[in-house]
Amino acid sequence: MSDASLTPPVETESLVLAPPAPVAAVAPAKAGGMVPLDQAALPGLDQKVQDYVTSIVALDPHSPAFGAKADDIRTMGDADIRASADTSNRLLQAPTRAMSKGDFAEGSKVSKSLLDLRRTIEDLDPAQATGVKKLLGLIPFGDKFEDYFRKYESSQSQLDGILRSLYSGQDELRKDNASLDQEKSHLWETMQRLAQYIYIAEHLDAALVAKIAEVQPTDADKAKALQEDVLFYVRQKHQDLLTQLAVSIQGYLAIDLVRRNNVELVKGVDRATTTTVSALRTAVIVAQALANQRLVLDQINALNTTTSNMIQSTSELLATQSVAINKQAADSTIGIDKLQAAFANVYQAMDAIDAFKLQALDSMSQTITTLQTEIDKSQQYVTRVRQSDERASGGTGPLDIGSGGAP
């Protein structure tokens, strides 16, 4: 067989899980052939039928021995019928105890733990931790990622408790399956014995019908007793055995269905404690990584924006300054108007100097004349003082001071 034949076909439709169908009712008429008989036991069963028919036909219909022999038919298989019924009673004991404790209404430990796990997983879904929190839906404050990781940390103990509860429930399912396997084995043995009784009843019916037809012509009283006291109860017992076997078969199938469902639940708990929790932790790790990446990306975007703004401002400054430099290079070092004003000031100063000089000539001439007059006037006073000093010191003649001579 090629590997391609082992590959399952790809389903295009969505996967839909359906619960297992309930066990169908088994008709008593069909129950007889559903439990196979050991072929090695058939000769012994046939011999028991033959011995019973032979012994009861030989008895007087009115004797106590005949009644006791007929009673064997009425009690045939009663112990196995009760054993089969006890199996159903034992299976009902666990739900009854659960109802008496109040656990039945709340569900089993596994179902409650799975429900708690589902609620916890939904509550810890990282998809709900995106964006910024807003006060009254308007004012942003805080980050949902920070709250999410705090919630995950606080939920760790709760998650661990749920996992422990699931493991405990899984152990209970395994114990239930062990009990179901034992009950199933006992019920199968009981069903095989019921099938043997049904085989005996069926062949007793045929043998008695043949024997009654044989006895009828010669002993009508015995034939009537065989019909009313033996054949009637054989067929009644045959009917009861078939009914009980049908109920037992249905119970057997139900036990097998419950056992297989428990196996699937055990597998489901394994998936929940491994795949589901691993998926949650992976989602948390990814969310944390994405949150860190988002922070880095925000910083990179901010840095890129700052760099772009700096480059733009530098280019604007460079462009403005370059125009100013070129404009300055085109203009003269000193402004023309300033230079003209400076020359005007110089010219004005020179004109003022020239005017001052002209005005100073007359003033200087007057000053010289005045000074000469005063000097001439003071000459006689100076001569008087000098002569007085010479007489006092015994000097020679007076000092002659002319208008332009030297001493």
The residues, ordered by sequence, that sit 6+ positions from 61 with a Cβ below 8 Å of its Cβ are: 221, 222, 224, 225, 226, 229
How far apart are alpha carbons 344 and 338 in whole angstroms?
Answer: 10
Q: Please, are residues 221 and 61 in contact by the beta-carbon 8 Å criterion?
A: yes
C-alpha distance across the termini of the chain, in Å:
158
Q: pLDDT truncated to tens, each residue of the chain (407 aa)?
A: 444 433 334 344 444 545 555 555 555 655 556 677 888 888 998 999 999 999 988 888 888 998 898 888 888 888 888 887 777 666 656 554 443 444 444 446 666 766 776 676 666 655 655 554 444 444 444 455 566 656 566 556 667 777 777 787 778 888 888 888 888 888 888 888 888 999 999 999 999 999 999 988 988 888 999 888 899 999 999 999 888 888 888 888 888 888 888 888 888 778 877 777 777 667 666 666 666 666 666 677 777 787 788 888 877 877 777 777 777 666 655 667 877 888 888 888 888 888 887 887 888 788 888 888 888 888 888 888 888 888 887 655 444 444 444 44
Q: How far apart are CA 153 and CA 155, in angstroms?
A: 5
Q: How many residues does the chain have?
A: 407
Beta bridge partners of 132: 143
Report the candidate in 191, 190, 184, 182 with the shortest Cα–Cα distance to residue 256.
184
> What is the distance between the alpha carbons of residues 232 and 318, in angstroms, rounded to a whole number?
122
Distance CA 267, CA 373 (A): 146
**Spatial separation of the C-alpha atoms in residues 135 and 111, rounded to whole Å:** 38
Q: What is the pLDDT of residues 244-290, one digit of tens each?
A: 888 888 888 888 888 888 888 888 778 877 777 777 667 666 666 66
Report the predicted TM-score, pTM, of the whole model to 2 decimal places.
0.53
Spatial contact of 163 and 120, defined as CB atoms under 8 Å apart: no
Instruction: Give the pLDDT confidence score for residue 44 in this predicted structure.
Output: 92
78-101 and 144-215 helices cross at what angle (nearest 10)? Answer: 160
Q: Please tell me the distance from the alpha carbon of residue 50 to that of residue 230, in angstroms, as a whole number.
A: 14
Beta bridge partners of 143: 132
The residues with which 139 forms a beta bridge, in sequence order, are: 135
Q: How many alpha carbons lie under 13 Å from residue 91 in its C-beta half-sphere?
A: 22
Burial 70-102 (b: 16+ CB within 10 A, else e): beebeebbeebbebbeebbeebeeeeeeeeeee
According to DSSP, the residues that pair with 134 across neighbouring strands are: 140
- Cα dihedral: 94, 100, 103, 106 (round 10): 120
**Alpha carbon separation from 79 to 64, 74, 241, 249 (Å, rounded):** 24, 12, 11, 17
Give whole-number Cα distances, 257 to 19, 186, 264, in Å.
11, 16, 11
Structure tokens at 68: 């006791």
CA distance 200 to 208: 12
Rounded distance between C-alpha atoms, residue 245 and residue 238, angstroms: 10
180 closest CA partner among 249, 81, 258, 250: 258
Q: Dig out the tokens for 249 from the structure.
A: 């078969």
Residue 396 has what DSSP assignment?
-
Q: Which helix (H) or strand (E) holds 371?
A: helix 336-393
Residues above pLDDT 70, as percent of the chain: 64
Alpha-carbon distance of 248 to 242, in angstroms, equals 10
